[in-house]
């Protein structure tokens, strides 16, 4: 009988021994080492143990009787400290064991983020029963922080939550389980977890763990401090290869084996998570079992070879139904078939390439997962079933869903027009009374006669009520990714409280995975305007000018425009601008129509350094590139002019200081003239104020671009404070209601000046608008130059690498 020593009692080695004893019980005398003080158990069932659905005894796969029955010498709780391959002995803590054949089944170790404080008491991994018990022993009501939003981390979070702990998950990437799920499915998973009371923070990078001896809090890179009693690290696993390395076996990312599971030493084998085969590592249980079978055959001198198979993952984060298989990245040559049912929280996405299915991601309803996986694995030609593929194997045909059904199903007292408080019943009555088109409904009920965002709904009520005799006008959708208009999109973002891009894609049924260059900037603006605190601005959804905070020119260089408040500057500022122009070789220096100075022809990589220089002189970004507040042009007013009636310069500076940094649907330009001679040309600005003896005349909706528009009179007020209040409230109303890329005059043409006057005329509403604007400014009124000129951000402006020298060698 040969002597076989197995190091590690995990799932792979348990299965190996079963196969071995079954095929030839008398072939080997086995010694089994395990660092844990227990034998083989089903590690993937630790989650139910944590949540309390199972006990440890229920997940034991091999008990004492089994080991005794097969004469296995168990050395549990004993570490192997070395291997002498020349003498063929394994050196354990309690003595040596000679072998003829040796199997490494050392599995993997949890990766611990080496941040300061990772060794504090109360910081644990989630790998074995001891870790699990540690979590179970933490008192309900304690605060647990799970670092890592992958499968393991989420299992830990779900289990801890079921034990009554207050759980927060920190995840580095933008969405949960980013390796297995696309952003839409990640969003649904997050929503599910949040419904269960788990807090999820994405793009959360841990800086350090704080505490005196034991953990007290986790500090994030952005400075956020999260109090904690328990920290679970679940950021990933690393093959446990220290022992194999020390024994001199070939180890790359893991212990290298051939298809027979043999390592670089013909008497030594390896199986499970600790191996590398053809450059691949293995973490799921199916290939591990396959390897165990192959190794058992090899040990008995039978022919067998391991071939990795394509894998599907049906993921079970207790109660969340997820499935992913194949390759689900999209692209041309590849087509997506997407099915979203927002009401039931279902998302299915199939990726088709040519005549075959290559990938699938599903959330909420994964019952057809295995069928899709079969199609992927077998490369089945799906041409004939393509039309109905997404509905799965059971699909037997049926009528197409009626898009108007939802409107038809609304009760009569459902509110359609929020501005004027008109419900569906009133509109139906009006239609029956002879108002058979949109104009007539507006005239009779006032529905959609104000802000206009419910126009689509009113038209649908007309269509439902009148049937075929009403032709639904074809509204212009935002882009090819959706059928929704901008108005519908804005209304739905507010009404359904959609606060992230994946939420919009999923809940509103976007047909592309992450939008396009047309819809993404619009959606980004709507989200940041409606949810300034909850939504995080996405630079990658902005046009280059707003991402680089400079205007791109036709030759790829940029222009730099510092802000000059109300057009006022100083000798020191002018000197700093001149110095910057010299230092960075600026070819053109031009005075703009907005009363400031434009430095044109700056190289992209020089921007951060130039900004830092200008910042040092007290200058900030002029946002000359943004859909946001541009300039407030002024004349010199009472300061110097003999005709000046008010301090127009002072008011201009005050307005610019209040409004700068805010994002708006399109650019916004202001001007303040000190008298009706209007030297600041206030009557062709988005907001233009003309000072008169008795106060301030505020006009809105002017423009001097492709269209030339004179302002319409909004209101006349007596004091400067009122002028500021009305201006701020107007800008906020525009931010909340206008469609992306509509200047105020275009928006006013849709909603009417009267509605704006009426809304702003209500003192309480005006104040609420100002409050909302100021709240948004607490987030967005920052100088982008100062933010981006810091070293780590500035690096992004330079090439990631320069290969011109390397290639020359």
From the list 14-22, 109-117, 546-554, 775-783, the region that binds another protein by CB under 8 A is: 546-554
Query: Tokens in use for 508?
Result: 């509103």
Name which of 522 and 691 has its Cβ closer to another protein: 522
Name which of 413 and 809 has its Cβ closer to another protein: 809
User: Closest separation between CB of residue 115 and another protein, Å?
Assistant: 16
Name which of 591 and 808 has its Cβ closer to another protein: 808
Query: Tokens in use for 29?
Result: 């005398």
> Quick count: other Cβ atoms within 10 Å of Cβ 380?
13
Query: Tokens in use for 446?
Result: 């006032």
End-to-end CA distance of the chain: 61
The correct pick among 352, 544, 568, 704 for binding another protein (CB under 8 A) is: 544
Binding mask 146-185 for another protein (x = CB under 8 A): ---------------------------xx---xx--x---
Name which of 330 and 365 has its Cβ closer to another protein: 330
What crossing angle do the helices spanning 438-445 and 455-466 adopt, rounded to 10°? 110
Confirm or reject binding of residue 111 to another protein (CB under 8 A).
Answer: no
Confirm or reject binding of residue 807 to another protein (CB under 8 A).
Answer: yes
Query: Tokens in use for 408?
Result: 């038809």
Contact predicate 674/720, CB 8 Å: no
Sign of the CA dihedral running 207, 209, 211, 216: positive
In the region spanning residues 260 to 279, those forming contacts with another protein, defined by CB under 8 A, are none
The correct pick among 399, 409, 591, 801 for binding another protein (CB under 8 A) is: 801
* Three-point CA angle 212, 216, 219, nearest 5°: 110
User: Closest separation between CB of residue 431 and another protein, Å?
Assistant: 41
166 forms bridges with which residues in the sheet? 143
Task: Name, in order, each residue with C-beta under 8 angstroms of 383's C-beta and a sequence gap of 6 or more.
Answer: 355
The correct pick among 62, 442, 490, 548 for binding another protein (CB under 8 A) is: 548
Query: Tokens in use for 726?
Result: 């009305």
635 is in an annotated binding site: yes
Q: What are the DSSP E strand ranges found in 221-367?
A: 225-227, 230-233, 237-239, 255-256, 268-270, 275-276, 312-317, 320-326, 334-341, 346-353, 356-363
The correct pick among 516, 636, 641, 692 for binding another protein (CB under 8 A) is: 516
Confirm or reject binding of residue 639 to another protein (CB under 8 A).
Answer: no
From the list 41-49, 553-561, 658-666, 692-700, the region that binds another protein by CB under 8 A is: 553-561
In the region spanning residues 232 to 261, those forming contacts with another protein, defined by CB under 8 A, are 253
The correct pick among 482, 541, 626, 759 for binding another protein (CB under 8 A) is: 541
> Quick count: other Cβ atoms within 10 Å of Cβ 414?
13
The correct pick among 239, 515, 608, 784 for binding another protein (CB under 8 A) is: 515
The correct pick among 521, 532, 608, 674 for binding another protein (CB under 8 A) is: 521
167 forms bridges with which residues in the sheet? 144
Name which of 227 and 799 has its Cβ closer to another protein: 799
- From residue 490, alpha-carbon distances to 100, 452, 484, 662 in Å are 72, 11, 10, 18
User: Closest separation between CB of residue 149 and another protein, Å?
Assistant: 12
Q: Is 653 helix (H, G, I), strand (E, B) or coil?
A: helix
User: Closest separation between CB of residue 447 and another protein, Å?
Assistant: 36
Closest CA to 111 of 230, 275, 234, 218: 234
In the region spanning residues 469 to 508, those forming contacts with another protein, defined by CB under 8 A, are none
User: Closest separation between CB of residue 799 and another protein, Å?
Assistant: 5
Task: Name, in order, each residue with C-beta under 8 angstroms of 482's C-beta and a sequence gap of 6 or more.
Answer: 489, 508, 509, 510, 511, 519
Q: Is 309 helix (H, G, I), strand (E, B) or coil?
A: coil
Q: Give the whole-angstrom CA distance, residue 567 versus residue 597.
A: 10
Name which of 514 and 638 has its Cβ closer to another protein: 514
Confirm or reject binding of residue 764 to another protein (CB under 8 A).
Answer: no
Contact predicate 116/209, CB 8 Å: yes
675 is in an annotated binding site: yes
> Quick count: other Cβ atoms within 10 Å of Cβ 148?
25
Contact predicate 199/167, CB 8 Å: yes
User: Closest separation between CB of residue 807 and another protein, Å?
Assistant: 4
User: Closest separation between CB of residue 377 and another protein, Å?
Assistant: 22
User: Closest separation between CB of residue 339 and another protein, Å?
Assistant: 18
The correct pick among 69, 197, 473, 799 for binding another protein (CB under 8 A) is: 799
451 is in an annotated binding site: no
Confirm or reject binding of residue 517 to another protein (CB under 8 A).
Answer: yes
**Exposure string over 672-704, b if 16+ CB within 10 A, otherwise e:** bbbbeebbbbbbbbbbbbbbeeebbbbbbbbbe
Confirm or reject binding of residue 642 to another protein (CB under 8 A).
Answer: no
- From residue 400, alpha-carbon distances to 346, 388, 404, 460, 574 in Å are 18, 11, 12, 18, 67
Total residues interacting with another protein, rule: CB under 8 A: 43
Q: Is 528 helix (H, G, I), strand (E, B) or coil?
A: helix
Confirm or reject binding of residue 800 to another protein (CB under 8 A).
Answer: yes
User: Closest separation between CB of residue 328 and another protein, Å?
Assistant: 9
From the list 7-15, 21-29, 214-222, 797-805, the region that binds another protein by CB under 8 A is: 797-805
| DSSP class per residue in 80-100 | EEEEETTTTEEEETTEEEE-S
Q: Give the whole-angstrom CA distance, residue 127 versus residue 765.
A: 56
The correct pick among 163, 520, 666, 743 for binding another protein (CB under 8 A) is: 520
Q: Which residue has the tokens 């009401």?
A: 343
Q: Is 805 exposed, middle or buried (0-12, 13-18, 19+ CB in 10 A)?
A: exposed
User: Closest separation between CB of residue 731 and another protein, Å?
Assistant: 26
In the region spanning residues 720 to 759, those forming contacts with another protein, defined by CB under 8 A, are none
Name which of 406 and 796 has its Cβ closer to another protein: 796
User: Closest separation between CB of residue 95 and another protein, Å?
Assistant: 39
691 is in an annotated binding site: no
In the region spanning residues 577 to 616, those forming contacts with another protein, defined by CB under 8 A, are 604
In the region spanning residues 287 to 346, those forming contacts with another protein, defined by CB under 8 A, are 329-333
The correct pick among 318, 356, 511, 512 for binding another protein (CB under 8 A) is: 512
Q: Which residues are annotated as a binding site for [4Fe-4S] cluster?
A: 635, 641, 675, 679
Residues in contact with another protein by the rule CB under 8 A: 173-174, 178-179, 182, 253, 329-333, 512-517, 520-521, 539-544, 547-548, 552, 554-556, 604, 795-796, 799-804, 806-808
Please report, in range form, the residues annotated as the binding site for siroheme. Answer: 679
Residues placed in the known binding site: 635, 641, 675, 679
């Amino acid at each position: 009988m040969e002597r076989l020593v197995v190091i590690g009692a995990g799932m792979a080695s348990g299965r190996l021994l079963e196969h071995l004893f079954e095929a030839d019980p008398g072939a080997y005398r086995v010694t089994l080492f395990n660092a844990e003080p227990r034998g083989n158990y089903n590690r993937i069932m630790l989650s139910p143990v944590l949540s309390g659905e199972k006990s440890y005894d229920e997940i034991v796969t091999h008990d004492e009787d089994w080991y005794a029955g097969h004469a296995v010498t168990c050395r549990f709780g004993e570490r192997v400290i070395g291997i002498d391959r020349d003498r063929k002995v394994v050196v354990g803590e309690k003595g040596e064991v000679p072998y003829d054949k040796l199997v490494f089944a050392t599995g993997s170790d949890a990766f611990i983020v080496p941040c300061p404080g990772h060794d504090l008491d109360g910081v644990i991994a989630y790998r074995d029963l001891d870790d699990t018990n540690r979590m179970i022993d933490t008192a309900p009501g304690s605060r647990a922080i799970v670092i890592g939003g992958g499968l393991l981390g989420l299992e830990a979070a779900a289990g801890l939550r079921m034990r009554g702990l207050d759980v927060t998950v920190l995840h580095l990437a933008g969405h949960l389980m980013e390796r297995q799920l696309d952003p839409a499915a990640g969003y649904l998973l997050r929503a599910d977890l949040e419904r269960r009371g788990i807090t999820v923070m994405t793009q959360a990078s841990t800086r350090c763990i704080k505490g005196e001896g034991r953990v007290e809090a986790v500090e994030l890179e952005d400075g956020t401090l999260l109090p904690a009693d328990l920290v679970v690290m679940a950021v990933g696993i690393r093959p446990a290869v220290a022992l194999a390395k020390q024994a001199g076996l070939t180890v790359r990312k893991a212990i290298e084996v051939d298809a027979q599971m043999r390592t670089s030493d013909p008497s030594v084998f390896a199986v499970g998570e600790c191996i590398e085969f053809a450059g691949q590592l293995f973490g799921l249980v199916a290939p591990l079992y396959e390897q165990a079978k192959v190794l058992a055959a090899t040990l008995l001198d039978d022919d067998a070879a391991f071939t990795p198979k394509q894998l599907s993952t049906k993921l079970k984060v207790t109660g969340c139904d997820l499935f992913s298989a194949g390759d689900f990245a999209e692209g041309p040559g590849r087509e997506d078939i997407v099915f979203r049912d927002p009401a039931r929280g279902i998302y299915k996405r199939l990726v088709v390439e040519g005549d075959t299915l290559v990938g699938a991601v599903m959330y909420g309803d994964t019952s057809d997962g295995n069928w899709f996986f079969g199609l992927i694995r077998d490369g089945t030609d799906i041409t004939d079933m393509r039309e109905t593929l997404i509905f799965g194997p059971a699909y037997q045909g049926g009528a197409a869903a009626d898009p108007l059904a939802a409107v038809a199903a609304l009760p009569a007292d459902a509110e359609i027009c929020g501005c004027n408080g008109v419900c569906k019943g009133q509109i139906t009555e009006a239609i029956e009374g002879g108002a058979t088109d949109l104009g007539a409904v507006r005239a009779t009920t006032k529905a959609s006669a104000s802000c206009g965002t419910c126009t689509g709904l009113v038209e649908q009520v007309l269509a439902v009520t009148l049937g075929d005799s009403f032709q639904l006008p074809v509204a212009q959708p935002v882009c090819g990714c959706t059928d929704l208009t901008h108005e519908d999109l804005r209304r739905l973002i507010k009404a359904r409280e959609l606060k992230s891009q994946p939420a919009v894609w999923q809940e509103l049924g976007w047909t592309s995975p992450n939008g396009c260059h047309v819809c993404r900037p619009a959606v980004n603006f709507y989200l940041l305007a409606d949810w300034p605190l909850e939504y995080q601005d996405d630079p990658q959804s902005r046009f280059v000018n707003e991402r680089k905070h400079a205007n791109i020119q036709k030759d790829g260089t940029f222009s730099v425009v510092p802000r000059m408040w109300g057009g006022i500057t100083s000798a020191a500022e002018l000197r700093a601008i001149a110095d910057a122009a010299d230092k960075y070789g600026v070819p053109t220096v031009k005075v703009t129509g907005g009363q400031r100075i434009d430095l044109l022809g700056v190289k992209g990589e020089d921007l951060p350094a130039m900004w830092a220089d200008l910042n040092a002189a007290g200058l900030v970004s002029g946002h000359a590139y943004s859909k946001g507040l541009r300039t407030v042009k002024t004349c010199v007013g009472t300061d110097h002019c003999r005709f000046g009636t008010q301090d127009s310069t002072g008011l201009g500076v005050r307005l610019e200081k209040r409004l700068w940094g805010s994002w708006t649907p399109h650019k916004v330009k202001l001007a303040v003239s000190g008298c009706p001679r209007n030297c600041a040309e206030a009557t062709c600005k988005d907001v233009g104020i003309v000072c008169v003896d008795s106060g301030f005349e505020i006009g809105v909706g002017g423009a001097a671009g492709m269209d030339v528009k004179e302002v319409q009179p909004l209101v006349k007020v007596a004091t400067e404070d009122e002028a500021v209040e009305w201006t701020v409230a107007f800008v906020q109303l525009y931010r909340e209601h206008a469609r992306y890329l509509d200047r105020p005059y275009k928006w006013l043409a849709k909603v009417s000046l009267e509605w704006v006057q009426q809304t702003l005329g209500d003192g309480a509403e005006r104040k609420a608008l100002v409050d909302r604007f100021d709240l948004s400014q607490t987030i967005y009124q920052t100088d982008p130059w100062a933010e981006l000129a810091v070293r780590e951000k500035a690096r992004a402006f330079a090439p990631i690498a320069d290969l011109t020298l390397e290639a020359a060698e």
